[in-house]
Amino acid sequence: MSFKDIYGHEKQIAVLQASMAKGRIAQAYLFYGMKGVGKRTTAAAFAKALNCGRASEILDACDTCPSCLKADHGNHPNIVNVEAKGPFIQRQAILELQDHMKFRPAEGGRRVIIMADADRMNAVAANTLLKTLEEPSPAHVLILITARPHFLPLTILSRCQQVRFNPLPASTVARFLSERRSIEEDAARLLAASAGGSIAAAMETNRESFLNFRQTAMNTIAAMNRTDPLETLAFVAELGQDRKEITDRLAILMNCYRDALIYKETGEVGALINGDRLDVIEDVAERLSGVEIIDCIRSVEGAAKAIEGNANKALTLELMLYKLLKK
């Protein structure tokens, strides 16, 4: 994996490449941002590039030199991954790292230490790491990765160059799914739209149950003003069991209403997530006013927040459906 293979994060990569071009690599970096957007992948590509024999010309890893091949096989002596054993990263792991750092990196390269979930360092471990940061060595680069930077002590944060990773645009996630996972374009677009900017979230989704649910949701919305309300209430069971599954499915439902609003306001089909079910989107856009559609979006959003906050699942979802049915 090299910079050129990474989806999105162009600005972040440009910053790292600029520091390579100037020969001014920071002693420590903090890569932070939501889970599953590519922080680790970028750290691995950076570590590989910093050790590549041709990086000074191309500001990326060449993928063919002996150093790059070792990095790709996960056995490069200069690329060290530190991970939590159990819930925390313990002091012992940092002490081992410091022992390791007493030796110069192999083959004249730079030793890059990548610490995933750095917020899981306990206080003693963080204090021990601080010693390393206070005694910089140009032969070493530390990359701390976290989705929760506020859990790290300020003394550590202040010594790192911070690189923020934003959620990826849905179109980028969709491109990844179709190019790298050979997922058919329509399905990729739908999955990406509900993944909140995270490739990992899109990959974790069970594609078949996701697509089936979407069809059920669209059919339920289509029938909402025509069938017996009790039938609509049976839809609660379709919304899943555990909280994560329910909030994921509510996001799909919310996208249906979002589409209806866009279609109502602009009449454009190109921007719709569920453009293949224009029958339903058109029907909602005609049946409801803009304000009513916004109310529906708020009801679904409110239910998702309540479920995340441990509210009673069945009651919350029934209440939400009542509100949607009243429209």
Binding site for Zn ion (CB under 5 A): 52, 61-62, 65, 68
**CA end-to-end distance (rounded Å), the chain:** 50
**How many helical (H) and strand (E) elements, i.e. helices and strands, does the chain have?**
17, 5
If you search the block for the tokens 């293979």, which residue do you land on?
A: 5
* Distance of alpha carbon 243 from alpha carbon 304, whole angstroms: 9
Calpha distance 261→255 (Å, rounded): 10
- Burial (Cβ within 10 Å: 0-12, 13-18, ≥19) of residue 264: middle
Contacts of 277 (CB under 8 A, 6+ apart): 218
Give the CA dihedral 91, 96, 100, 102, nearest 10 degrees: 60
For residues 303 and 292, what is the distance between their CA atoms, to the nearest angstrom?
17
Other residues' Cβ atoms within 10 Å of the Cβ of residue 236:
17
Q: How far apart are CA 54 and CA 249, in angstroms?
A: 47
d(CA 270, CA 245): 28
Name the token pair of 128: 């021990």
Q: How far apart are alpha carbons 175 and 89 in whole angstroms?
A: 35
Alpha carbons 79 and 74: distance in angstroms, whole number: 8
Which one-letter amino acid corresponds to residue 281?
I
As a whole number of angstroms, the distance between CA 48 and CA 58 comes to: 13
